[in-house]
Amino acid sequence: MVRGRGLRRFGAAVVLAGLVTGCGGSGGGGGHDAALAEPALPAVLTEPPDGAAVPLPLDGYAVSGADSALIFQAREAATRTCMKGKGFDYTPAVLPAAPPPSPLDPDFLGILSATAARLTGYHRPPPPAGQVTAQQQQQGGDGPEYRKALEGAGGKPGTAADPTADRGCMGAFDKQLGGALAAPAKDDVVGGLRAQAYDHATGDSQVKAAVTKWAGCMTAQGYHYATPAAAGSAAWPDPVAQQEKDTAVADMVCKAQAQLLGTWYAVEAGYQTELIGRNESALQGIKDRVTQRVAAAKKALGEG
């Protein structure tokens, strides 16, 4: 009998969440730098594809989807071998499918997709058919001895603050990597820099000018909102009504007229580029660490 189904799914989610932060290092992204200069806009602004994820400069310092899958497979293979050595049957988890890009940015930009606006307004679209939710993945459980073998003495898979702590078989892959490489990061440097760039973009005069144009366009169509976030966070009822869809469609039309999204992503990319230049040493360390982890994963899987 195969055991560990529910606990394994929970562990998979934890491992995925830690792939990027686990490759970081301390310093370089923790503080907000108010001295960044506003980036110049390109002569021709490019509007992003409808609802698609937009590549940004800091993406090159994070773990890619393909690398995440590779490291995940190596972790699961090492966990299975370790558990077998302790007398337990463990079937490696299947990597959950990456969710599609969200059509909403509730913090500032609001709706990002004309297609989603027509279909669901400001409501999130339902998950794709057949996609297993995190809650469904966490169903089930196992005995205390199995859990101790899998998680170690800490009781929380993959989250031990002390790199020397017993993390059970879920830490087997990190042990293969060696001490310094396997040690958990103190800071998510890439995430911190992304947050800084985002915060600066929200206050950028060029973005604010585009938001003003957007608001004027919306007013001309009979919709009175100061910002896209205000439109998206209005008290829209369930289920989605046509009024909400019409508002969201007008929102996207006005974004296009104001070139709001093109301006936003150009500005955010500019701030990210400047922050990369100010944090080259920390970021290069992260990049090297990712390269080492990927190489170790390939070797563990017999691909390197």
Tens-place pLDDT, residues 136-191: 343 334 688 888 888 887 645 444 445 556 778 888 777 777 654 544 455 688 99
Q: What is the mean pLDDT of residues 18-30?
A: 41
Q: DSSP alpha helices (H): ranges in 103-241?
A: 114-120, 134-137, 144-151, 172-177, 179-182, 189-202, 205-220, 228-232
> Considering its fold, how many domains does the chain have in total?
1
Q: DSSP alpha helices (H): ranges in 48-188?
A: 65-85, 114-120, 134-137, 144-151, 172-177, 179-182
Does residue 215 lie in a domain region?
yes
What value does the CA radius of gyration of the chain take, rounded to a whole number of Å?
Answer: 23
Query: To which residue do tokens 């440097």 refer?
Result: 189
- What is the Cα 180 distance to its own chain's centre? 25
Are 90 and 169 spatial neighbours (Cβ–Cβ below 8 Å)? yes
Q: What is the mean pLDDT of residues 76-93?
A: 89
More confident of the two residues 100 and 43: 43
pLDDT at 11: 40
- What is the Cα 291 distance to its own chain's centre? 19
Q: How confident is the model at residue 222 (pLDDT cuts 50, 70, 90)?
A: very high
Are 217 and 225 spatial neighbours (Cβ–Cβ below 8 Å)? no
Does residue 116 lie in a domain region?
yes
The yes-or-no verdict on residue 204 having pLDDT over 70 is yes
pLDDT at 112: 96
Are 9 and 93 spatial neighbours (Cβ–Cβ below 8 Å)? yes
The yes-or-no verdict on residue 230 having pLDDT over 60 is yes
Does residue 129 lie in a domain region?
no
Q: How confident is the model at residue 263 (pLDDT cuts 50, 70, 90)?
A: very high
- Supply the range of the domain harboring residue 220: 5-29+44-124+138-300
pLDDT at 9: 33
pLDDT at 8: 35
Are 186 and 180 spatial neighbours (Cβ–Cβ below 8 Å)? no
Kindly report the pTM of this predicted structure. 0.75
Q: Is 4 left (phi over 0), alpha (psi -120 to 50) or beta?
A: left
More confident of the two residues 207 and 141: 207
265-287 pLDDT, tens digit per residue, is 999 999 999 999 999 999 998 88
Does residue 237 lie in a domain region?
yes
Does residue 130 lie in a domain region?
no
When mean pLDDT is compared across 27-31, 144-148, 224-228, 253-257, the lowest value belongs to: 27-31
Does residue 39 lie in a domain region?
no
Does residue 19 lie in a domain region?
yes
Does residue 152 lie in a domain region?
yes
Chain-wide mean pLDDT for the chain?
A: 80
